[in-house]
Structure 1
């Protein structure tokens, strides 16, 4: 690792010169640098005459900090910038170099034949109805009609050539094992010092064929960090488990394998890649060397030879194998050790070290190489985010509004509530709640103690002194506990019926039902799940329902206080309350923000399963962003028409409410969990014409959680969470925004403080992708709005990992997906008042 330092960017200007001073004068003399007076800070680059010396060229000579000063002659000046790195290296090449490309008409059989036959000697790719071939080996020619094109005109082709070069290079140098990956490849290190299982205690025996090693995901990309398209290589580091012991051999040794998932080897057409694995099925029994499966991929053949099968490379299976061969170490002990090793590899400092090491290999060991036979290319070092070469900024947390007049503002949600009370404290009704508690009779005493702390505060705790009643300006509630004998769904249903009869005898209704469950109940489905059955019963009566796990009740006092605070916030929102509002950050256009989130429900690991899409709408009015009361969730096949219906209803409702005129500017912004299709954009445009809003602007933003990019802030030393234990070292700042191009950007919603523990790994930013047909294209504005919406969740006081437009949509889709398996459930239950609350939080 490099020494810690401040980072400066250098810029040539008139009338300035750079001098340097160090205690190691020999270093200066070797590089021809003159000595000047001491200045503050140090630098990655030193300028002298016409030469630039990088930090890496001089740091090994230095025993003290290099210091620099600018004086008034021609030269350069320095600007301090963040020590922030993006996990990409740039590819440098001559944009005017002419590439020879062969083209033939597209035919699927010809295309597959060329890809197989020319693997390793040519790049073969499809472009519309044309097959393109580019020679990558000396002495080979392009196939088809040949033409020449400048390299700078076809950056995506250069990216594809980069991928081809990576495959050929790493398969040829024996530096690691390479595996095929969509849009790139995975490289597993085979260095002897990268055997991570060697960190296990000596009493754990490690059989040959079992490995845990660092892996690198390499993905070529094209984007515009400056004014022109640039080809970059994204490098990500993680760990990879490999289990190369045949199931048949494990069975011969006496290891039980029933109930474990098995895989088989699959060799692709390109033999430069290592043999990959494919999930086969869930092992039910082994007889005569044959595996039988209770679940199988193709549903037809439910057996295979045990000698051809391998256990799925999961950390739990790795722990089982090591435990079998090390009987004196328990499986849980080994599993924890493995998780610790994997966790240490996932933290920012270690990931940066590995990413930087591979980037350094490409610069120092590879140096200059050639693509397409004659195109000279070289690699840069990891991209340092500098103000003048990249578009990076940090967004501030928005002010939240805690009163109708807008004067009661606070950037901290919990602090604002405790200081001002909720936004609607004078309108919220009823102040005196009727609260029922349903719990197991064996746990009743401890549950009652927890509910008392929830309502009135956790004594002697920093975070939980106020309690639900005081924080939300409520009166003392009517509270009744109903204990049930056991943990079955039937017992909980009987308890719910008893609670309903009790409140009916009083001539009243329950406002809130708190249900104690066990963590294990989360795995149960439909009518077997006590919470889903209880929730269905009370939602049908228009009553808000909130669960609390007994495992949460057993937490240490401070952690329990945080959990109860979050539970109180969600309960208030479920009751129809408004804890705070978000001020609108524009004054020109009426805005509607539509969020699409999904939940994928699968009864088996095979098959497509059921996918549900939730729709959430936020609109601007009276200087604030307001959440549309009606929420929607439909199956994936129906979501396009449901989205249009939702937009139509929201526009008509808000237009009437705020007296829109035809000439008023209107802006529709879509936050989507997936890329938006061209036909969906066209459908929205047609709908606006239908609604007589022809001048409406649109922005369609794909909010992607999975992508190859991450940021490292080397000045972030982490947040202390224990004795010499830090979380989030090198984590980027929350609110950090890096523009990759006019239509792509990274937005950091998690920083060091937002991680829960030291082993949580390095936080990844969201990638925002703006659809090319969007008429509103201010990506910075859109990113800041998404960041603000992540601070507006009423599910928890913690910042949300996604904007509420997507988070709430995901929660709606998940809840409705789960409730549909309860026989008594009907979506008509949400037709009343309860459906206009945040019942899904």
Structure 2
């Protein structure tokens, strides 16, 4: 971005107050931009006709106003691009879509074949965000642009959908009443349980006590359950698949880059005003070379016999690192499935155990004894019948080493005590029996696809039995403990209060060996950061007892967090860990916020799909970097979309600050998941924490679930894979 080198009036309010900030935004947000800076609120007028606010104003150079300049650029760009055929979807981040029918995927795909009215629109658009980038020549403002598709219903309400015979039951709705709006946008108010005429009744998952609404005052929330149902109702059973394919095509690297570069080229031809008398203009792309780009070595692996390998496939030749002693004599497994699918399940399990296509027999790959299984079928897909099948397995008297549970197709989204898989998993976990699920859709896949799914299931089963498939090769002489921090809301519905939250920490050694998951006590959401710290300290205590650290050893604790930790929590964690470590150990800390959701994409013009090679690292400043954890070789399926790099932020308070080393370590930890053989989009520290949080949240909806189960032996197993 090029911005005129001039001075502008900046207003300041001392003693920052969040409520006052929100009130000013609501009252004057169209005429001013506001931003907190230290303990002050700063403002710049964007409308020269607006009255001056009651604050102290002074002239400053526009390049000296910090990140307030980014807000001015976004607001000016919003005015620049908003036209009659371009709609503003939201302001932060700035999101715009085209209203032209040719840019509506639903219209182009189904407009000619559908004669009746159809309210669903899937529009092409762009998401824009101004950010400060730290080039080698110094900091500068830049626009981050992404090409998107956005689904909406236009001005159609739930009354229109009901009139068209659409079934709203089980879906979530938004209130169109301005009094219910949040930041000027409609808010979700609950899940529909039934419809009577034009009156919509909400179930227990709702905000507040009100349960009845007029359909004309509601709109449908276009979540993952609503879109397929809408597309099927208006366009036919194949419509959602067609829409999904078209959206994926537009998200591919080459098409995405084509859309973004064309958009930027058109808008680069003119300058635009960001504040009265201050002009800005787009001035070329920011390249990796501008910021500082390197390529770190890809990880190498240790497999059976302590041999080295370039990929996880090396275990097929050398075997796994560790085979649990209790598996050599054989595995006793019980199977829980629907009675109507028993033959199908037995055929699928035979393929899993004996091999199919490229999937080899379990005994050959994992060096375990023969797997024998006994089927306990449920009379139906209900949770009650699955619980009876579980009880039959227990009453049979065998000490099961493994349970395999077929998930009924019609119950995957069922909550709490109505979900047969959750009920069964909780029962087996209480007896410390690992559980592996499999789905009907997986059983029905053609062999050329099913063979890969079987390989993944075999890997997960081996890990749940206590096996170690592979580890990372490391060269450091420092003891490393890598902690993944997360939190889980227990049994919380979309509209419910988050009043049952646990902090959780996954613990790994530097070579990727999984040690345990430690959970905190259950707390209210406002206390969840303290709960995360509590779980991290507890994890360190347990691992400290297991590791053979000696006086004088150097220990490096690397924390991968799902969010920025506040300074007081980092200091509390450091203090507690140092107290446990004692004076005989030298402990360094690296606090890393690993962000998956951020606006920046990396494109490689030399690659057909524009995807940079795995291992590319682009510095975004002294303490921030983007790491390409998936490259073109890992994204072989167009349905996987265009990979977003991992954004790493090294936080204040870290005593180990080698961002290059930490970037290489994060890349390596994205290739050590024991859920599949291929690298993942995030390090295993974060991935496992997310898997655990998801399962804990779902298990927490059970009436008889006790989260303290995980604080025993189950916490050291891979129960969540």
State the partner residue of 1:161.
72
Assess, with a 3 A threshold, how the Cα gap between structure 1 residues 739 and 513 changes in structure 2: closer, same or farther. Answer: same
Question: After alignment, is 433-442 or 650-659 more displaced?
Answer: 650-659
**Which residues in structure 2 correspond to 1:332-481 (within 5 Å)?**
332-364=237-269, 366=270, 368-386=271-289, 389-403=290-304, 406=306, 408-413=307-312, 415-425=313-323, 429-458=327-356, 461=357, 463-464=358-359, 466-481=360-375
**C-alpha separation in 1, matches of 2:430 and 2:120:** 53
Assess, with a 3 A threshold, how the Cα gap between structure 1 residues 340 and 118 changes in structure 2: closer, same or farther. Answer: same
> 1:714 and 2:714 equivalent?
no
> Shift of residue 236 of structure 1?
1.4
Q: Deviations over 1:388-408 (max 9, x none)?
A: x2322333431111246x4x0
> Shift of residue 427 of structure 1?
5.5
> Shift of residue 709 of structure 1?
1.1
Q: Deviations over 1:89-111 (max 9, x none)?
A: xx12366x433323345677876
**C-alpha separation in 2, matches of 1:320 and 1:827:** 35
Picking from 617, 641, 656, the partner of 1:761 is 641
**C-alpha separation in 1, matches of 2:564 and 2:536:** 19
**C-alpha separation in 2, matches of 1:793 and 1:279:** 35
Assess, with a 3 A threshold, how the Cα gap between structure 1 residues 370 and 528 changes in structure 2: closer, same or farther. Answer: closer
Matched-pair contact (CA < 8 Å) for 2:199–2:212: yes
Question: After alignment, is 510-519 or 559-568 more displaced?
Answer: 510-519
**C-alpha separation in 1, matches of 2:187 and 2:541:** 48
Matched-pair contact (CA < 8 Å) for 2:620–2:626: yes
Matched-pair contact (CA < 8 Å) for 1:246–1:309: no
State the partner residue of 1:79.
none
State the partner residue of 1:685.
574
CA RMSD of aligned residues (A): 3.5
Higher Cα radius of gyration? 1
**C-alpha separation in 1, matches of 2:23 and 2:378:** 67
> Shift of residue 646 of structure 1?
4.2
> 1:247 and 2:146 equivalent?
no
> 1:187 and 2:96 equivalent?
yes
Matched-pair contact (CA < 8 Å) for 1:222–1:229: yes
Picking from 111, 114, 123, the partner of 1:204 is 114
State the partner residue of 1:775.
655
Assess, with a 3 A threshold, how the Cα gap between structure 1 residues 195 and 571 changes in structure 2: closer, same or farther. Answer: closer
Matched-pair contact (CA < 8 Å) for 1:282–1:293: yes
- Matched length: 710
**C-alpha separation in 2, matches of 1:175 and 1:236:** 19
**C-alpha separation in 1, matches of 2:164 and 2:76:** 45
**C-alpha separation in 2, matches of 1:678 and 1:439:** 50
> 1:224 and 2:134 equivalent?
yes
Secondary structure at the aligned position of 1:204 is classed as coil
State the partner residue of 1:726.
none
Q: Deviations over 1:477-518 (max 9, x none)?
A: 4443333433333433333343344454xxxx3222222232
**Which residues in structure 2 correspond to 1:113-128 (within 5 Å)?**
115=25, 118-128=28-38
Secondary structure at the aligned position of 1:220 is classed as strand
Structure 2 unaligned residues grouped into runs of 5+: none
> Shift of residue 689 of structure 1?
4.2
**C-alpha separation in 1, matches of 2:386 and 2:143:** 55
> 1:800 and 2:680 equivalent?
yes
TM-score (norm 2): 0.88
**C-alpha separation in 2, matches of 1:527 and 1:155:** 52
Picking from 790, 794, 797, the partner of 2:670 is 790
Secondary structure at the aligned position of 2:618 is classed as strand
**C-alpha separation in 2, matches of 1:265 and 1:687:** 49
> Shift of residue 317 of structure 1?
5.7
> Shift of residue 425 of structure 1?
4.0
Matched-pair contact (CA < 8 Å) for 2:175–2:187: yes
**C-alpha separation in 2, matches of 1:840 and 1:315:** 23
**Which residues in structure 2 correspond to 1:598-617 (within 5 Å)?**
598-600=487-489, 603-609=492-498, 610-617=500-507
State the partner residue of 1:496.
390
Assess, with a 3 A threshold, how the Cα gap between structure 1 residues 790 and 731 changes in structure 2: closer, same or farther. Answer: same
Assess, with a 3 A threshold, how the Cα gap between structure 1 residues 296 and 245 changes in structure 2: closer, same or farther. Answer: farther
TM-score (norm 1): 0.76
**C-alpha separation in 2, matches of 1:474 and 1:108:** 60
Q: Deviations over 1:55-86 (max 9, x none)?
A: xxxxxxxxxxxxxxxxxxxxxxxxxxxxxxxx
> 1:740 and 2:620 equivalent?
yes
Assess, with a 3 A threshold, how the Cα gap between structure 1 residues 632 and 583 changes in structure 2: closer, same or farther. Answer: farther
Assess, with a 3 A threshold, how the Cα gap between structure 1 residues 708 and 434 changes in structure 2: closer, same or farther. Answer: same
Assess, with a 3 A threshold, how the Cα gap between structure 1 residues 690 and 289 changes in structure 2: closer, same or farther. Answer: closer
> Shift of residue 822 of structure 1?
4.1
Secondary structure at the aligned position of 1:712 is classed as coil
**Which residues in structure 2 correspond to 1:501-540 (within 5 Å)?**
501-504=395-398, 509-540=399-430
> 1:697 and 2:588 equivalent?
yes
**Which residues in structure 2 correspond to 1:567-606 (within 5 Å)?**
567-587=457-477, 589-600=478-489, 603-606=492-495
**C-alpha separation in 2, matches of 1:816 and 1:104:** 44
State the partner residue of 1:71.
none
Structure 1 unaligned residues grouped into runs of 5+: 1-90, 718-728
> Shift of residue 112 of structure 1?
6.2
